[in-house]
Amino acid sequence: MSSASAVNSQSSSPGAQVVSELRTAFKSGKTRSLKWRLAQLDAMKRMLIDNQEHIIDAIAADLGKPRFEAFTTEVGFLLSEIEHTQKNLAKWMKPVRVKSAVVLQPASSKIYSDPLGVTLVIGAWNYPLQLSLGPAIGAIAAGNCVVVKPSEVSHYTSALIHGLLPQYLDSDCVRVVEGGIPETTDLLEQKWDYIFYTGNGTVGRIIMTAAAKNLTPVALELGGKSPTIVDESADLDVTARRIIWGKFTNAGQTCVAPDYVLVHERVHDELVAAFGKAITEFYGTDTKSSADYGRIINERHCKRLIGLLDGGNLAHGGEHDLSEKFIAPTVMTGVDGDSPIMAEEIFGPILPVLKVSSIHQAIDFVNERAKPLALYVFAGNKTRAQQVIHNTTSGGGSINHVWMHLAVPGLPFGGVGESGMGAYHGHHSFNLFSHKKSILDKPTFVDPNLVYPPYGDFKQKLIKRLL
276-292 pLDDT tens trace? 999 999 999 999 999 99
On whether the pTM is more than 0.85, the answer is yes
Strand ranges of the sheet holding 96-98, from the earlier edge strand across to the other edge: 96-98, 108-115, 434-441
Tell whether the model's pLDDT for residue 111 goes beyond 60.
yes
How high is the pLDDT of residue 448?
Answer: 82
Assign domain 227-412 to a CATH class.
alpha beta
pLDDT range class, residue 465, cuts 50, 70, 90? confident
Could you give the C-alpha distances from 201 to 4, 182, 251, 338, 345, in angstroms and in order?
Answer: 35, 19, 21, 21, 11
Segment 103-120 shows an average pLDDT of 95
Nearest Cα neighbor of 328 from 363, 299, 289 is: 289
Assign domain 3-222+420-439 to a CATH class.
alpha beta
Catalytic position from the list 221, 232, 302, 345: 221
Chain mean pLDDT for the chain? 95
387-408 confidence digits (pLDDT tens): 999 999 999 999 999 999 999 9
Strand ranges of the sheet holding 145-149, from the earlier edge strand across to the other edge: 174-176, 145-149, 118-122, 194-198, 218-221, 420-421
Annotated catalytic residue 255:
yes
Annotated catalytic residue 145:
no
| Cα 118 to Cα 23: distance, rounded to the nearest angstrom | 6
Instruction: Yes or no: say if 403 and 256 are a contact pair by the CB < 8 Å rule.
Output: yes
The more confident residue out of 259 and 11 is 259
Could you give the C-alpha distances from 138 to 144, 423, 433, 458, in angstroms and in order?
Answer: 9, 11, 7, 52
Contacts of 89 (CB under 8 A, 6+ apart): 34, 37, 38, 41, 141, 430
Domain ranges of the chain: 3-222+420-439, 227-412
Classify residue 72 by its DSSP letter.
I
| Cα 444 to Cα 439: distance, rounded to the nearest angstrom | 16
Catalytic position from the list 232, 255, 302, 345: 255
Segment 225-249 shows an average pLDDT of 98
| Cα 391 to Cα 90: distance, rounded to the nearest angstrom | 39
Phi-psi region of 207 (alpha: psi -120 to 50; beta: other; left: phi over 0): alpha
| Cα 107 to Cα 192: distance, rounded to the nearest angstrom | 35
